[in-house]
């Protein structure tokens, strides 16, 4: 799923291209192993897949239910069950159920985002210096194809939030607390869409794939359902499942959800605390960065290497909007007012983390766009020359930068990402564990991504990758890890 970590750990610079073909056969699997997910499934991977399919929806429900019924105390439900005060059926029955009102809200939301994605040509790039929008090329797929994308996420975010503020202050079509008021009912709607789109993507891969040569079948239903079969499932030329679901339903909603939580805090307590303001501001910076750099996102691991299945489809519909916003939800039930010194410290940590995250990615992007003909920290950057094969049998060349932040650690952008993640959690104080789920999860996710990405790159580049790791020996923290 999306990490809402819009990060790419390795700065490949394409130097040579060939006319793409669509052919791939069994004998070529080893050659293209560096792309996408596995061809075969071991028992541990299968067990992990089944566990996530069964338990991930329950984990999300447990978190939001703990806030709804136990003031966000994660131990509350377990203690009640252990002591006999409540049964599982009691807890379930007290939770809001599916409602047609929530279904109408969610359907309207998805349809509106589809409309913005499909029907509005990007115009922001004409008025915003430095912003890259409009039609952009994606990365090369395993079959050697380069897809086109209409990059208009920033425009969609601006329009959506302009309408939100217009409604809150002038139109009054609905309450600004609408998302909080229907939060668990909306969860069931998000699950329906998440499972529905994952099921449709699997059926599409068998019946009418966008590109049959960019599909991977293991023969294991559960693994293929979760990790996806098609690399870039599309309807028509422009509706790309990956780009839409990775960004629009969840990430556009992220800041709206936080605003709804802030409105609820105002309604309940007559004020919005500085901790809630910090969470809204710091996470809004992250979201805006995603859409400002949406063209760059086309080169990230989500687009370049993940297939589209339940992991991305359900993850972007449910996991991201419900678990990435836990800090705001927690602060509705447990308002925290930080001292001025603590608030400034949290803000500085978040801003420094964002600075490292953004500048690190900017250095890589500048290096890639100029083919290394630029200056990083006032000097011409150093790099390792690498080569790899695509499915069409052609050899391509890349450069892996070893200067600037990329000379300090191979994934230093992740380091900044983790600093920002920690700041969101620290804004909530230390009374409960629930707000800290985000930093725990992001640490596991990004370390796993480091390992997974490096395994892929080792297969892709071979001895060239060994030269790179010798030049940059640390992954995240220079001198430590």
pLDDT over threshold 90, residue 405: yes
pLDDT over threshold 60, residue 22: no
When pLDDT is cut at 50, 70 and 90, the band that residue 332 belongs to is very high
Q: What is the mean pLDDT of residues 58-74?
A: 96
Can you tell me the distance from the alpha carbon of 363 to that of 315, in angstroms, rounded to the nearest whole number? 30
Q: What is the mean pLDDT of residues 20-31?
A: 44
pLDDT over threshold 70, residue 424: yes
**What is the predicted pLDDT for the residue at 346?**
98
pLDDT tens by residue, 250-309? 999 999 999 999 999 999 999 999 999 999 999 999 999 999 989 888 887 778 888 999
Cα–chain-centroid distance for residue 464?
29
**What is the predicted pLDDT for the residue at 219?**
86
pLDDT over threshold 60, residue 14: no
Q: What is the mean pLDDT of residues 163-181?
A: 96
250 class by beta-carbon count within 10 Å (0-12 exposed, 13-18 middle, 19+ buried): buried
Residue listed under structure tokens 């339903």:
249
122, β-bridge pairs: none
**What is the predicted pLDDT for the residue at 24?**
45
**What is the predicted pLDDT for the residue at 38?**
62
% of the chain beyond a pLDDT of 70? 91
pLDDT tens by residue, 118-158? 988 888 878 888 888 888 888 878 777 888 888 999 999 99
**What is the predicted pLDDT for the residue at 21?**
34
Between these two residues, 37 and 35, which has the higher pLDDT value?
A: 37
When pLDDT is cut at 50, 70 and 90, the band that residue 37 belongs to is low
When pLDDT is cut at 50, 70 and 90, the band that residue 12 belongs to is very low
Q: What is the mean pLDDT of residues 382-406?
A: 84
Of 158-167, 225-234, 331-340, 447-456, minimum mean pLDDT range: 447-456
pLDDT over threshold 70, residue 34: no
Which of the residue ranges 8-12, 355-359, 398-402 has the most confident prediction, judged by mean pLDDT? 355-359
pLDDT tens by residue, 176-223? 999 999 999 999 999 999 999 999 999 999 999 998 888 888 889 999
When pLDDT is cut at 50, 70 and 90, the band that residue 3 belongs to is very low
> Mean pLDDT, the chain, as a whole number?
88
**What is the predicted pLDDT for the residue at 39?**
65
pTM of the model: 0.88
Q: Give residue limits of the domains in the chain.
A: 26-347
């Amino acid at each position: 799923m999306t990490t809402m970590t819009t990060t790419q750990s390795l700065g490949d610079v394409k130097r040579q291209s060939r006319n793409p073909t669509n052919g791939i056969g069994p004998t070529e699997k080893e050659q293209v192993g560096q792309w996408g997910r596995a061809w075969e499934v071991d028992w541990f991977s299968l067990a992990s897949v089944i566990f996530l399919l069964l338990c991930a929806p329950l984990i999300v429900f447990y978190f939001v239910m703990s806030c709804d019924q136990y003031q966000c105390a994660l131990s509350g439900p377990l203690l009640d069950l252990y002591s006999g005060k409540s049964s599982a059926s009691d807890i379930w029955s007290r939770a809001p159920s599916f409602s047609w009102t929530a279904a109408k809200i969610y359907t309207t939301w998805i349809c509106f985002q589809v409309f913005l994605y499909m029907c509005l040509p990007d115009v922001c790039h004409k008025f915003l210096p430095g912003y890259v929008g409009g039609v952009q090329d994606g990365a090369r797929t395993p079959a050697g194809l380069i897809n086109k994308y209409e990059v208009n996420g920033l425009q969609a975010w601006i329009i959506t939030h302009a309408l939100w503020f217009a409604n809150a202050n002038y139109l009054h079509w609905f309450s600004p607390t609408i998302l909080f008021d229907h939060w668990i009912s909306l969860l069931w709607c998000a699950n329906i869409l998440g499972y529905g789109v994952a099921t449709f993507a699997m059926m599409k891969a068998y019946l009418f794939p966008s590109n049959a040569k960019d599909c991977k079948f293991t023969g294991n239903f559960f693994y293929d359902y979760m990790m996806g079969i098609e690399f870039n499932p599309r309807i028509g030329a422009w509706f790309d499942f990956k780009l839409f679901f990775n960004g629009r339903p969840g990430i556009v909603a992220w800041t709206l959800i936080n605003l709804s939580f802030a409105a609820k805090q105002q309604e309940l307590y007559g004020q919005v605390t500085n901790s809630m303001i910090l969470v809204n501001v710091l996470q809004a910076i992250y979201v805006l960065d995603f859409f400002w750099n949406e063209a760059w996102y086309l080169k990230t691991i989500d687009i370049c290497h993940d297939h589209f299945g339940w992991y991305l489809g359900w993850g972007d519909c449910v996991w991201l909007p419900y678990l990435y916003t836990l800090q705001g939800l927690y602060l509705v039930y447990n308002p925290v007012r930080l001292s001025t010194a603590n608030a400034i410290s949290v803000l500085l940590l978040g801003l420094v983390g964002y600075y490292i995250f953004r500048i690190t990615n900017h250095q890589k992007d500048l290096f890639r766009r100029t083919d290394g003909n630029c200056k990083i920290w006032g000097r011409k950057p150093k790099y390792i020359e690498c080569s790899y094969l695509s499915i069409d049998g052609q050899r391509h060349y890349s450069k892996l930068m070893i200067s600037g932040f990329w000379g300090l650690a191979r994934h230093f952008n992740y380091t900044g990402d983790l600093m920002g993640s920690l700041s969101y959690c620290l804004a909530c104080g230390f009374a409960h564990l629930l707000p800290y789920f985000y930093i725990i999860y992001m640490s596991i996710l990004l370390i796993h991504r480091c390992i997974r990405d490096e395994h892929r790159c080792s297969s892709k580049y071979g001895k060239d990758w060994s030269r790179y790791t010798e030049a940059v020996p640390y992954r995240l923290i220079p001198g430590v890890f």
